[in-house]
């Protein structure tokens, strides 16, 4: 099916309205700076209070947040970093061109988060950091992972791009490891006009480093005309000419930085989006509960649920269908034919060409591979869906799961026995 789906996958993950429009209009008409004002600080303060960290520093995207987080790790050649393969490329991309060994850690079958038991076997004395994602908004098993990391002085970076609004035993993602990275892209749980990101952590020295890095690495103080770099002898003739004019005109730059600061317009919208966050996430959770109830009626389908104390933000809705070859395809085709847009998020990263060319291969993360190639489906689940769309989605899922069951029953009647999913070898070949 092409073009207009009755139930589209999210192009916007949030709802914006009159409060954002009014605040933005006032800022535009005020004539104030759109780059340097008070909104950024207010947005960051609110965000750090929400996340439960000493610092929240805004940047221009989630990708930039992850790049700067990796910068803070001070990785050296030969160091090792353990990462999850079940995430968007941006989580691991900052490691691509560093001389570090990347180890992909297989995932848990229910949550699709990094499996702590597998992680344990991948850690050694060269491991410097763990980069994980709270897949779909379901917080990873942070108690186990952080305990393991702390014992060995390993830093934990949380990619929280999906997890804004989630809770983990009363705490918020972004405060559970050492560094949290958030995204405010249009598709995420809240947005700052389409692009934006945030870093969260507790360390003073990191706050100073990120603040410099994101604003061209300037010292932040004007260099006195009598001090370096204006005291260079070759500049003396100019300085004598009218030195008092130059005195406050030179900002010292320490090393290469970048400009990754978030605009005032983005921050004022972000502040209002935080007010909406709870109701946005409640809507996501209500849609997910509705879909879970449908999945539960079908023995060949399943959808994972977090343990008590773990609160899913439902950035994504994920379910699984198992059966012989063709079962998942029947579900996807059945949904598509009924006007539901389906996505498979995400293709296991270690099988992408950029990681294959660096020596990674099928079989490295058997669970991530098996689930993605045979069982895994993501359905629309976002607050922009109307009640009618959610009704349609639930009915379409029910009917498409019946389509999938027909494939299983056909196979069983042909072979006269129960069939199983294709072997790992077969699914590995499908990746080539
Ligand atoms: C969206 C996303 C990012 C990147 O965020 P941007 O703001 O789009 O750069 C990183 N990681 C995950 C898991 C994401 O979903």
Asked if residue 215 has pLDDT above 80, the reply is yes
Rounded to the nearest 5°, which phi and psi values hold at 194?
A: 100, -30
CA–CA dist 398, 331 (Å, integer) = 10
pLDDT digit string, tens, across residues 6-20: 999 988 999 999 999
Asked if residue 209 has pLDDT above 80, the reply is yes
pLDDT average, residue stretch 93-111? 96
pLDDT value of position 11: 84
Q: Are strands 80-83 and 127-133 parallel, antiparallel or unpaired?
A: parallel
Please tell me if the CB atom of residue 59 comes closer than 6 angstroms to any atom of ligand 1: no
Asked if residue 76 has pLDDT above 90, the reply is yes
Q: The dihedral of CA 29, 34, 38, 43: what is its sign?
A: positive
CA–CA dist 366, 176 (Å, integer) = 27
pLDDT value of position 245: 59
CA–CA dist 100, 110 (Å, integer) = 30
Query: Domains of the chain (ranges plus CATH)?
Result: 18-216+258-266 (3.40.640.10), 219-255 (no CATH), 276-431 (3.90.1150.10)
pLDDT average, residue stretch 7-35? 96
Q: How far is the CA of 254 from the centre of ligand 1 (A)?
A: 29
Residue 287 tokens read as 């849609």
pLDDT average, residue stretch 282-301? 98
Pick 204 or 427 by higher pLDDT.
204
Asked if residue 173 has pLDDT above 60, the reply is yes
pLDDT average, residue stretch 250-255? 61
pLDDT average, residue stretch 256-279? 95
Q: The dihedral of CA 111, 113, 116, 118: what is its sign?
A: positive
pLDDT value of position 10: 84
Q: How far is the CA of 379 from the centre of ligand 1 (A)?
A: 18
pLDDT value of position 225: 47
Q: How confident is the model at residue 233 (pLDDT cuts 50, 70, 90)?
A: confident
pLDDT average, residue stretch 32-46? 96
Please tell me if the CB atom of residue 136 comes closer than 6 angstroms to any atom of ligand 1: no
CB 266 within 8 Å of CB 193: yes
Rounded to the nearest 5°, which phi and psi values hold at 200?
A: -130, 140
pLDDT value of position 249: 58
pLDDT digit string, tens, across residues 334-373: 999 999 999 999 999 999 999 999 999 999 999 999 999 9
Please tell me if the CB atom of residue 175 comes closer than 6 angstroms to any atom of ligand 1: no
The secondary structure of residue 383, as a DSSP letter, is T
pLDDT average, residue stretch 393-409? 97
The secondary structure of residue 422, as a DSSP letter, is P
pLDDT average, residue stretch 15-40? 97
Residue 255 tokens read as 């090393």
CA–CA dist 52, 212 (Å, integer) = 23
Pick from 59, 91, 345 the residue to mutate for probing ligand 1's pocket: most ligand atoms within 8 Å of its CB: 91
Please tell me if the CB atom of residue 158 comes closer than 6 angstroms to any atom of ligand 1: no
pLDDT value of position 1: 45
Q: How far is the CA of 62 from the centre of ligand 1 (A)?
A: 5
Asked if residue 211 has pLDDT above 90, the reply is yes
Neighbours of 237 (CB within 10 A): 8
pLDDT value of position 431: 38
CA–CA dist 96, 305 (Å, integer) = 33
Please tell me if the CB atom of residue 154 comes closer than 6 angstroms to any atom of ligand 1: no
Please confirm, yes or no, whether 240 is among the known catalytic residues. no
Please tell me if the CB atom of residue 63 comes closer than 6 angstroms to any atom of ligand 1: yes
CA–CA dist 265, 191 (Å, integer) = 12
**Ligand 1: nearest atom to the Cα of 90:** 10
Least confident of 211-215, 240-244, 383-387: 240-244
Please tell me if the CB atom of residue 62 comes closer than 6 angstroms to any atom of ligand 1: yes
Percent of the chain at pLDDT above 70? Answer: 88
pLDDT average, residue stretch 272-282? 98
Rounded to the nearest 5°, which phi and psi values hold at 320?
A: -130, 145
Residue 2 tokens read as 């092409």
Q: How confident is the model at residue 237 (pLDDT cuts 50, 70, 90)?
A: confident
pLDDT digit string, tens, across residues 364-398: 999 999 999 999 999 999 999 999 999 999 999 99
Residue 159 tokens read as 């990619």
CA–CA dist 52, 37 (Å, integer) = 24
The secondary structure of residue 35, as a DSSP letter, is S
Q: Which residue, chain included where needed, has tokens 């983005």? A: 266
Active-site choice (6, 188, 240, 425): 188
Pick 179 or 421 by higher pLDDT.
179
pLDDT value of position 242: 62
The CB-side HSE value for 189 (13 A sphere, CA atoms) comes to 28
pLDDT value of position 376: 95
Asked if residue 220 has pLDDT above 80, the reply is no
pLDDT value of position 238: 74
Mean pLDDT of the chain: 91
CA–CA dist 76, 414 (Å, integer) = 58
pLDDT value of position 419: 55
Q: How far is the CA of 159 from the centre of ligand 1 (A)?
A: 8
**Ligand 1: nearest atom to the Cα of 184:** 7
Asked if residue 182 has pLDDT above 90, the reply is yes
């Amino acid at each position: 099916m092409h073009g207009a789906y009755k139930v589209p996958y999210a192009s916007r993950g949030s709802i914006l309205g009159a409060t954002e429009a009014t605040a933005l209009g006032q800022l535009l008409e005020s004539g104030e700076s759109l780059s340097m004002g008070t909104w950024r600080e207010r947005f960051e303060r609110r965000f750090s209070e929400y996340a439960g960290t000493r610092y929240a520093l805004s940047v221009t995207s989630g990708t930039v947040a992850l790049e700067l987080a990796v910068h803070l790790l001070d990785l050296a050649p030969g160091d090792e970093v353990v990462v999850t393969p079940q995430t968007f490329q941006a989580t691991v991309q900052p490691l691509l061109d560093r001389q570090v060994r990347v180890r992909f850690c297989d995932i848990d079958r229910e949550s699709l988060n990094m499996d702590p038991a597998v992680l344990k076997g991948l850690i050694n004395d060269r491991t410097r950091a763990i980069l994980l994602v709270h897949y779909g908004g379901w917080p990873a098993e942070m108690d186990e992972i952080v305990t393991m990391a702390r014992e060995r002085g390993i830093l934990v970076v949380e990619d929280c791009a999906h997890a804004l609004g989630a809770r983990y035993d009363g705490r918020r993602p972004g405060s559970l490891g050492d560094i949290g990275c958030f995204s405010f892209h249009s598709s995420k749980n809240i947005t700052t006009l389409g692009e934006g990101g945030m870093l969260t952590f507790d360390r003073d020295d990191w706050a100073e480093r990120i603040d410099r890095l994101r604003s061209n690495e300037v010292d932040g103080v004007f260099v006195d005309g009598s001090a370096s770099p204006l005291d260079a002898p070759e500049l003396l003739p100019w300085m004598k000419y009218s030195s008092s004019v130059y005195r406050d005109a030179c900002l010292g730059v320490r090393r290469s930085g970048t400009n990754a600061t978030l605009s005032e317009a983005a921050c004022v919208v972000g502040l209002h989006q935080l007010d909406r966050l709870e109701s946005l996430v409640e809507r996501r959770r209500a849609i997910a509960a509705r879909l879970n109830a449908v999945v539960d009626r079908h023995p060949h389908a399943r959808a994972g649920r977090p343990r008590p104390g773990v609160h899913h933000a439902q950035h994504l809705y994920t379910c699984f269908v198992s059966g012989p070859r063709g079962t998942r395809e029947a579900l996807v085709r059945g949904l598509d034919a009924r006007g539901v847009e389906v996505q498979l998020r995400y293709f296991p990263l270690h099988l992408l060409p950029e990681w294959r060319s660096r020596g990674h291969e099928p079989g490295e993360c058997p669970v991530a591979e098996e689930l993605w190639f045979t069982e895994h489906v993501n359905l629309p689940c976002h607050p922009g869906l109307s009640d009618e769309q959610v009704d349609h989605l639930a009915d379409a899922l029910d009917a498409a799961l019946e389509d999938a069951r027909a494939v299983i029953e056909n196979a069983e009647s042909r072979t006269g026995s129960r069939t199983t999913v294709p072997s790992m070898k077969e699914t590995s070949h499908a990746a080539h």
